[in-house]
């Protein structure tokens, strides 16, 4: 029985990955620069898998010219899969920090009296803003923070980037 995802051509998947990652990054930049939400260090790290995957998906998209994609495309989609899984793991960690399931890293705007670095101390002396705390979600809807949305998006992108790999494995075994 064909699954709904069987209708997505393999050579379209890299371009979908690029579009969704660019839209995700644009949304994060919109929240930061237009709405004024300052990202914490985990938020900034959560963007890195998207940047990496955009590059890998672009190469995969250029290499895929036909419906029968080559092994090079599968390698770059595998790299996208790894990047998105790493991003989902990082976002899950961030969500856990926000919900106080575990402590966050020391570099996440501790808000204490002692500065973490000379730059933080200089910024505080000049009246600058301290970086936001990682354990305090700045925005959420339906109880899902931006880190939670990033986790859901990266999981969906990981599943999408895995489709051609799964199709290749199934076809190499002779399954139709």
pLDDT confidence of residue 176: 57
Contacts made by residues 153-158, CB under 8 angstroms, sequence distance 24+:
153/20, 153/24, 154/49, 154/50, 154/84, 154/85, 154/87, 154/88, 154/91, 155/84, 155/88, 156/20, 157/17, 157/20, 157/21, 157/53, 157/80, 157/84, 158/81, 158/84, 158/85, 158/88
pLDDT confidence of residue 138: 80
* Terminal Cα-to-Cα distance of the chain (whole angstroms): 10
Query: Does pLDDT of 131 surpass 80?
Result: no
Q: What is the pLDDT of residues 69-119, one digit of tens each?
A: 678 899 999 999 999 999 999 999 999 999 889 998 887 765 444 455 666
pLDDT confidence of residue 83: 98
Query: Does pLDDT of 66 surpass 80?
Result: no
pLDDT confidence of residue 61: 92
> Which residue would you say has higher pLDDT here, 85 or 122?
85
* Cβ pair 23, 81 in contact under 8 A: no
Q: What percentage of the chain reaches a pLDDT higher than 70?
A: 80
Q: How confident is the model at residue 1 (pLDDT cuts 50, 70, 90)?
A: very low
Mean pLDDT to the nearest integer, 39-56 = 95
Q: What is the pLDDT of residues 5-31, one digit of tens each?
A: 567 787 899 999 999 999 999 999 999
Mean pLDDT to the nearest integer, 38-44 = 91
> Which residue would you say has higher pLDDT here, 144 or 118?
144
Task: Go through the domains of the chain in sequence order and give each one's CATH number.
Answer: 9-172 (1.20.1550.10)
Q: What average pLDDT does the chain have?
A: 85
Query: Does pLDDT of 65 surpass 60?
Result: yes
> Which residue would you say has higher pLDDT here, 81 or 134?
81
User: What sign results for the dihedral spanned by CA atoms 44, 46, 48, 51?
Assistant: negative
């Amino acid at each position: 029985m064909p699954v709904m995802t069987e209708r997505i051509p393999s050579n379209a998947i890299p371009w979908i990955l690029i579009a969704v990652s660019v839209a995700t990054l644009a949304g994060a930049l919109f929240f930061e620069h237009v709405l004024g939400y300052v990202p914490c260090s985990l938020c900034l790290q959560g963007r890195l898998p998207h940047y990496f995957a955009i590059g890998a998906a672009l190469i995969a998209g250029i290499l895929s010219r036909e419906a029968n994609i080559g092994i090079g495309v599968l390698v770059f989609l595998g790299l996208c899969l790894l990047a998105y899984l790493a991003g989902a793991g990082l976002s899950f960690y961030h969500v856990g920090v926000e919900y106080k399931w575990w402590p966050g890293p020391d570099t996440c705007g501790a808000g204490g009296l002692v500065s973490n670095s000379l730059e933080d101390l200089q910024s505080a002396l000049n009246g600058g803003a301290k970086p936001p705390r990682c354990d305090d979600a700045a925005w959420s809807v339906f109880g899902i923070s931006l880190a939670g949305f990033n986790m859901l998006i990266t999981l969906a992108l990981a599943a999408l980037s895995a489709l051609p790999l799964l199709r290749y494995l199934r076809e190499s075994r002779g399954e139709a």
